[in-house]
């Protein structure tokens, strides 16, 4: 006959809920029965919803890490590769292929002299200013060339200066970039809000290829280098990619943490209930986990040597 003070029973591995040859009750079965109640099933559902959020968020961060890593690999592959003609990569009616981004191009042509300033652009050192773009006619196409960066003037509303593009024939070497998204802002005379091919076509009235070129060098027919805005730094995903990977791992660890929290709280509640019903049994259950670690090591029997017997 079972008394009210008897400890909960029903371990999944040991039916009688006791160690063979021991007195300490197993409590896994009791915790599992507790988790099958309506209240704890609700908490398990909450943990599952949390796990779903962690899974989705971790997956998003993982994809961001892969995307940035792919971009960095493309930069490392194309940045210092041998330049190819503009027309080999850029053509009317087609955006640059992904593999062509950051590929170097070189060609001799002329600027149209319709300089546009792209505002709110970070420059070397993190200061904001303007990037200078102009339409470059080369190899039968017209393409925007980003010549570099200049600081703000007395206010952010205008640049410190508007450097003119060189006149006549000039050889330009630079990197292919995809067109930026239009920000949809009202046009400002002589300015662009982004290096958007569509916005630049409206502002200049020229038909441009999709994409633009970030200039590396310019040279005149006599070999001289014309004045230019400050060159932009080599891009690097750097720590940004590693941060996304770190966030992904942290989100996925949150899945384990959510379920572990529910299980530990259920275990604590079970032990508290057991202690209320039978304090002695509760002490036995809590001591069960540390019993193995606390068990003293059996002393190794000292081997008696022959000469020890002779000494005796």
Encode pLDDT of 193-209 as tens digits.
999 999 999 999 999 99
The CATH number of residue 174's host domain is 2.40.50
Other C-beta atoms lying within 10 Å of the C-beta of residue 288: 15
| 24 compared with 221, residue with greater pLDDT | 221
Does residue 119 lie in a domain region? yes
pLDDT band at 251 (very low <50, low <70, confident <90, very high): very high
**What is the rounded average pLDDT of the residues 33-60?**
91
pLDDT value at residue 189: 85
E strand or H helix that includes residue 143: strand 141-151
Residue 146 burial (CB < 10 Å; 0-12/13-18/19+)? Answer: buried
Lowest mean pLDDT among 151-160, 198-207, 293-302: 293-302
Q: Among residues of the chain, what percentage have pLDDT more than 90?
A: 44
Query: Taking 80 as the threshold, does the pLDDT of residue 292 lie above it?
Result: no
Cβ-contact 206, 143 below 8 angstroms: no
What the block records as the tokens of 284 is: 């036995």
Report the distance separating Cα 4 and Cα 1, nearest Å. Answer: 10
Nearest to 58 by CA among 258, 259, 254, 251: 251
Does residue 302 lie in a domain region? no
User: How many residues are recorded in the chain?
Assistant: 312
Please report which residue ranges of the chain form alpha helices under DSSP H.
28-35, 38-78, 86-89, 197-204, 238-277, 279-294, 306-311
- Same domain for 229 and 192, yes or no, is yes
Does residue 33 lie in a domain region? yes
Nearest to 145 by CA among 124, 131, 157, 156: 131
- Same domain for 148 and 17, yes or no, is no
pLDDT band at 186 (very low <50, low <70, confident <90, very high): confident
pLDDT value at residue 295: 54
Cβ-contact 59, 247 below 8 angstroms: no
Does residue 44 lie in a domain region? yes
- Same domain for 176 and 275, yes or no, is no
pLDDT band at 212 (very low <50, low <70, confident <90, very high): very high
- Same domain for 114 and 222, yes or no, is yes
Query: Taking 90 as the threshold, does the pLDDT of residue 185 lie above it?
Result: no
| 30 compared with 13, residue with greater pLDDT | 30
Mean pLDDT rounded to a whole number for the chain: 81
Backbone angles phi, psi at 240, to 5 degrees: -60, -45
pLDDT band at 281 (very low <50, low <70, confident <90, very high): low
pLDDT value at residue 28: 66
Nearest to 89 by CA among 232, 213, 206: 213
- Same domain for 120 and 204, yes or no, is yes
| 126 compared with 86, residue with greater pLDDT | 86
- How many domains, in total, are found in the chain? 2
Encode pLDDT of 106-127 as tens digits.
999 999 988 888 888 888 777 8
pLDDT value at residue 298: 55
Does residue 133 lie in a domain region? yes
pLDDT band at 16 (very low <50, low <70, confident <90, very high): very low
Report the distance separating Cα 268 and Cα 263, nearest Å. Answer: 9
Residue 165 burial (CB < 10 Å; 0-12/13-18/19+)? Answer: buried
- Same domain for 228 and 261, yes or no, is no
| 32 compared with 45, residue with greater pLDDT | 45
pLDDT value at residue 252: 95
- Same domain for 187 and 207, yes or no, is yes
Domain limits for position 272: 1-79+236-281
Residue 99 burial (CB < 10 Å; 0-12/13-18/19+)? Answer: exposed
Lowest mean pLDDT among 59-73, 165-179, 272-286: 272-286
Encode pLDDT of 122-153 as tens digits.
887 778 889 999 999 999 999 999 999 998 87
């Amino acid at each position: 006959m079972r008394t009210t003070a008897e400890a909960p029973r029903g371990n999944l591995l040991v039916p009688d809920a006791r160690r063979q040859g021991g007195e300490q009750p197993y409590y896994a079965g009791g915790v599992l029965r507790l988790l099958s109640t309506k209240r704890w099933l609700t908490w398990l559902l909450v943990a599952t919803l949390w796990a779903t959020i962690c899974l989705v968020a971790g997956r998003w961060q993982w994809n961001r890490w892969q995307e940035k890593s792919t971009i960095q690999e493309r930069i490392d592959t194309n940045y210092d590769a041998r330049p190819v003609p503009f027309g080999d990569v850029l053509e009317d009616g087609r955006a640059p292929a992904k593999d062509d981004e950051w590929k170097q191009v070189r060609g001799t042509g002329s600027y149209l002299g319709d300089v546009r300033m792209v505002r709110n652009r970070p420059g070397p050192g993190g200061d904001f200013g303007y990037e200078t773009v102009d339409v470059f006619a080369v190899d039968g196409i017209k393409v925007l060339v980003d010549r570099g960066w200049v600081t703000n003037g007395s206010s952010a509303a205008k640049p410190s200066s508007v450097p003119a593009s060189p006149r006549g024939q000039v050889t330009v070497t630079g990197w292919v970039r995809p067109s930026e998204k239009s920000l949809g802002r009202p046009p400002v005379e002589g300015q662009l809000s982004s290096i958007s091919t569509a916005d630049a076509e409206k502002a200049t009235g020229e038909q441009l290829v999709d994409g633009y070129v970030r200039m590396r060098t310019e040279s005149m027919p006599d070999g001289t280098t014309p004045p230019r805005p400050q060159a932009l730094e080599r891009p690097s995903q750097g720590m940004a990619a590693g941060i996304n990977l770190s966030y992904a791992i942290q989100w996925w660890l949150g899945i384990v943490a959510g379920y572990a929290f529910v299980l530990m709280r259920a275990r604590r509640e079970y032990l508290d209930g057991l202690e209320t019903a039978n304090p002695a049994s509760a002490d036995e259950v809590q001591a069960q986990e540390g019993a193995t670690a606390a068990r003293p090591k059996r002393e190794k029997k000292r081997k008696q040597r022959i000469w020890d017997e002779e000494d005796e």
